[in-house]
Amino acid sequence: MTEVTADSPSASAAELRDKLVNELVTQQVIQTREVEAAFREVPRHLFAPEAPLEKAYAQTHVATKRDENGITISSVSAPEIQATMLEQAGLRPGHRCLEIGSGGYNAALMASLVGPNGEVTTIDIDPEVTDRARACLKEAGYPQVNVVLTDGENGCAEHAPYDRTIVTVGSWDIPPAWVDQLADGGTITVPLRMRGLTRSITFAREDDHLVSQSAKICGFVTMQGAGAHQERLLLLRGSEIGLRFDDEWPAEPDLLNGALDTERVEVWSGVKIPRQEQFDTLQMWLATALDGFCLLAVDPKLDTGLVSPQNKMACPAVVEGGSFAYLALRKLGEEPDPVFEFGAHAFGPDASALADTMAEQIRVWSRDHRGGRGPSIAAYPADTPDDRLPEGRVIDKRHVRVLISWPTEDLPPAS
């Protein structure tokens, strides 16, 4: 492996790398000695040679390829999400592993974890990406990683079966090949998109379906090739406001044309939250509890302040007929310790009823699921009939039926 010593030309890289790892350990993103050792060993900057050293070791992604519109289509992912997924996957010495979506750095981390008796295969659909990954892996001292040019939809039968599969591109579906190529006891860790929300989920096989072992909030560049799936965008007020639908589309979208000409209705839930508390389970609860769920986005260049969502890039929203509502947040109290209250803003002829519905679901989340372990997520074959599925929100995709189910009373995990 490439060694960096204190008096070498790359000493500053070693210092920055240790600083980054120390931060991830302190933040409890890195939780095991094995993942910590891999992060300390692998020279991240060699996989992002275009970036300054400080950027290579910052807690952010490094874009390595963009499309004609400037959108990132390949990157070295943020170290936080890479560490999270490696901790979820639980790679061990001797494991045979597949990475779907290549860049080189994550494959090197995986190679460090599985050791000389293990095997790592990394695949990508883009020849520029695989060529770059192969060169970076060789320079960094990991030439043993198999780099294969292929569509990730098909996995890589050549080096199967796999004890661990890690998908490092945002996926809307789970193709059969990923499951078929697992070894007995193998798992898949995948950033799965459900109703527009992405969670990194580690799945294990249970009879004829997959069951989640863990789920963490994350974001990734989207899958290309046969597994690509585009969200549909419904524009309002010209293009100032967009409603993004991932799995469903309103039956009569034209009914929303005049919704923003109505007076805005505001309903506050009484549910308050301090600044530091995470509420990603609220987003997922609204996605499962509300029909017509979507994500609202505001074009920052056209923003007139007509809407004030909790998040102007991707805010939970719901459409019903000619009305829509979205999650809102208002500040209560003064700095340095303010609290915030969740509520709903709505427009359209049935705005009051729809805002009441969203506010009530916020209260249900706070009462039953806030601070809990979150939902169980399962993936069944696409031909599984309804009467064989447990109760929950079913999201139909091309290859699987995703089932999201919540405990009736979700208690915080034991400490």
* Both structure tokens of 270: 């009484």
Other CB atoms within a 10 A radius of the CB of residue 335 amount to 7
* Both structure tokens of 383: 């031909």
**Closest of 415, 390, 413, 411 to residue 402, by C-alpha:** 390
Q: What is the DSSP string of 12-54?
A: HHHHHHHHHHHHHHHTTSS-SHHHHHHHHHS-GGGG-TTS-HH
**Tokens 């294969």, located at residue:** 148
Helix (H), strand (E) counts: the chain? 9, 19
Q: Are 215 and 200 in contact (CB under 8 A)?
A: yes
E strands in 263-356: 265-274, 293-298, 315-320, 323-332, 339-347
Catalytic residue among 77, 112, 212, 214: 77
DSSP 8-state code for residue 332: E
Q: What is the DSSP string of 239-263?
A: TTEEEEESS---S-GGGGGGGGGSP
Q: Are 199 and 191 in contact (CB under 8 A)?
A: yes
- Contact residues for 90 (Cβ-Cβ < 8 A; gap 6+): 164, 187
Q: Are 39 and 14 in contact (CB under 8 A)?
A: no
β-pairing verdict for 400-405 and 72-76: unpaired
β-pairing verdict for 323-332 and 393-396: unpaired
Q: Determine which helix (DSSP H) or strand (DSSP E) holds 74, and give its type and residue range.
A: strand 72-76
Q: Determine which helix (DSSP H) or strand (DSSP E) holds 289, and give its type and residue range.
A: helix 280-289
Q: Is 77 a catalytic residue?
A: yes
* Both structure tokens of 32: 């095991």
Active-site residue list: 77
